[in-house]
Amino acid sequence: MRLKSIFTNSFGILFSRVTGLGRDVLMASALGASVWSDMFFIAFKLPNLFRRIFAEGAFTQAFMPSFIASKHKGVFATAIFLRFILFLMAISLLITFFPEPITKLLAWGWDEQTIANTSPMTAINFWYLDLIFIVTFFATLLQYKNHFATTAMSTALLNISMIAALYIYMKEEPKAVAYALSFAVLIGGLLQVIAHLIALKKFNLNKILIGGWKYRKTKDVKEEKKHFQSLFLPGILGNSTPQISAFIDTILATFLMTGSVSYLFYANRIFQLPLAIIAIATATVLFPAVSKALKNNQEDKAYANLNQAFWLLSFLLGASMIGGILLAEPIVWLLFERGKFTEVETLETVSVLKMYMIGLLPFGLAKLFSLFLYASHRHLKAAKIALYSLVTSVTASLLLMQPLGASGLALAGSLGGWVLFVFTVKEVGTEHFIAIIKTKYSLYFLLTMSLFTIVIYFINQWLLTFIR
């Protein structure tokens, strides 16, 4: 297992997420959980959704196996890039001229005036999707060369851009802050593209794209493009259940009390921190190795990586899940309760965070096991499993949103995570899972988590005496 690459990638993601938390702290102080924070989060929701879908797997897990198998890598890569970027630019132009319908789709429960106020920000933020596709495409080429640091660190550029906007406009009216953040999103995306261009040149990957453009009309990659498309479309659904579930929850939250969209956003940001630096970082590093091993019929080598990564993720995600549930109030208080973010808003966010944390372990482990589905080109099966999870999540959201509010939406997402994990393990091979948990590490895991729970419980009780 590539521990050095995993920790390098994790450190880069950690740095990006820490700057992201810093951004969110300033945002909470400037806007609180208000109508303007809700409006910005809705405007940013769609491009951010596709950022997570593209950057955290769907594109990479379809493109990487196809790129590895391609006989004309440069021509294939260029063809895929042109197809996507032209499509995204056309959609972005359409939304620029007609932003209200898409905004209404994102916020069914809002009145016409709020929709009208949000629409211009939706048009601005949507162009970030074009930029983040370019970043993701370049990042996948860098992953092929086992370089992960640039991509892991580059999200910090987006956060730094937004932090700068918040510092400059902090004392302005909420509308000015929300618009400043929207333009900062585009500046941050442009900085990410520039960082990846520099990395491409360093690894001489720019020559692949130049050659692909030069020979694009002489090399036939029609079948390779068809194969990629057959993997990508199911991969969108198969790899994006948490994001689609959270997206639907945001729409449903617009029918709840003001601030519900913001509660979900702030709590989800904390939830995503351990998920990204542990599970996503590990899966990103292992995927090229697993893909190459399975392509070369080296299944033992691929499953050896799975066994080692399983226990690494189990211990780290298990501890994070317990800590997130028991220390939810001190964490939210420390990060957000200042300025316009009040004690009431802290308690609402705490309740949502606890429900999200219930799904941390299954989402993280499902991410690991799903590598084998994507590496062996079983994207359609992964999509079917994701559909089971999504139906569970949406059904539970509709049932729980009225009695539990935003917390019910978060709990529904976690239930979907457990369904995703169970069916993914079953498809990869229950016998492999049983073989893993029959080892001595199972006992170590149970003892460690029990002791950790006791220690964190008393730490939380001590911290609460200082907070309230």
Q: How many domains does the chain have?
A: 1
Quote the longest CA-to-CA distance of the chain: 72
The answer, yes or no, to whether residue 84 has pLDDT greater than 80, is yes
Q: Has residue 466 got a pLDDT over 70?
A: yes
pLDDT of residue 419: 94
- CB hemisphere CA count around 204 (13 angstroms): 0
Domain that holds residue 89: 3-467
pLDDT value of position 448:
92
Rounded CA-CA distance 363/151 in Å is 22
Q: Give 228-269 pLDDT, tens digit per residue.
A: 777 776 766 666 666 777 778 878 888 888 778 888 888 988
- For the segment 124-142, the average pLDDT, to the nearest whole number, is 89
Instruction: Compute the mean pLDDT over every residue in the chain, rounded to the nearest whole number.
Output: 82
Neighbour count for residue 223 (Cβ, 10 Å): 8
Query: How far is residue 128's CA from residue 188's CA, in Å, rounded to a whole number?
Result: 9
- How many other CB atoms sit within 10 Å of the CB of residue 436? 18
> pLDDT-based confidence at 328, cuts 50/70/90?
very high
Q: How confident is the model at residue 195 (pLDDT cuts 50, 70, 90)?
A: very high
Q: For residues 375 and 231, is the Cβ–Cβ distance under 8 A?
A: no
Number of C-beta neighbours around residue 47 at 10 A: 24
The share of the chain scoring above pLDDT 90, in percent, equals 26
Q: Please identify which residue in the block is written with the tokens 């029990």.
A: 450
- Tokens describing residue 311: 């226990």
